Structures are given as C-alpha cells and as structure tokens.
Copies of this chain bind each other. A is one copy, B any other.
C-alpha cells in the first residue's frame, strides 16, 4: 500500500511524527484484510467481532519526510487461535525506514472479551497467504 506524506503527518522536526506511522500501518492492515476478502465493518455489524491491537513493536530506522512516497506492508505472518501477527515494514523506495510487528486479537464487540478467530477469517487469510506464496 502506497502512502504519501502530507503536512498533517509531519511535526516541527520536519519528519513524520512517530505515532503517525501507526496510522499508516492501520490503513495498510485494513486494505490487506479487504484484499483477502475480509470486511471488518461487516464483521463488527453482523457478527459483533472486532479486531483490536494487542501489542506493537516498532523500530524507527530512518525518518520519512514531507512529500515522501512510502510503501507500507501488512504481512500476516502468524495466524493463531485468537490472534494474528502482522509484519509491517515501511519503505521509501528500496530504503527500509521502519520495522514493525503488530499483534491483533479478536474480541466480542459487546463484552470486549477475547474470542477465537472466526473460521471464515482464518480460511480467508490462509488462502490469501497461499495465493501470494
């Protein structure tokens, strides 16, 4: 997923504010799930299932600047019973600017308690991963 750095994303240091990379990552995850045929809004509305971020590990290697064109990845590298691990490096051309790993959990939208990943989602993600491999 390609992302342009706009002035809203930068801070007074002239570079992208560190929290804003997490916004890019969330966009890329949503698009990756959409491409795998998973519509999060429908899952919430119809099945009361929500994906929430459980943990984030980010290493900032090089700063992105105003007007940069970035590529934000979202690779589902591990699919577990109740959680997903998503690798999300960010590149500017061939340069890797950011390394990140985001763990998502599936919860019940009403009781906010963890639940198993729905079978249909596991199947869609597994198919998608095989198609790309």
Per-position 1/0 for A58-72, Cβ under 8 A of B: 111001011100000
* Nearest Cβ on chain B to A31's Cβ, whole angstroms: 8
- A56 in contact with B57 given A8-B27, A18-B22 (CB within 8 Å): yes
Contacts of A65 in B (CB 8 A): 12
* Docked pose: A58 CA to B57 CA in angstroms: 7
Among A19, A23, A27, A53, chain B packs the most CB atoms within 10 A around the CB of A19
Contacts of A12 in B (CB 8 A): 7, 10-12, 14-15, 65-66
Question: A8–B17 contact, CB under 8 A?
Answer: yes
Contacts of A50 in B (CB 8 A): 13
Contacts of A54 in B (CB 8 A): 59-60
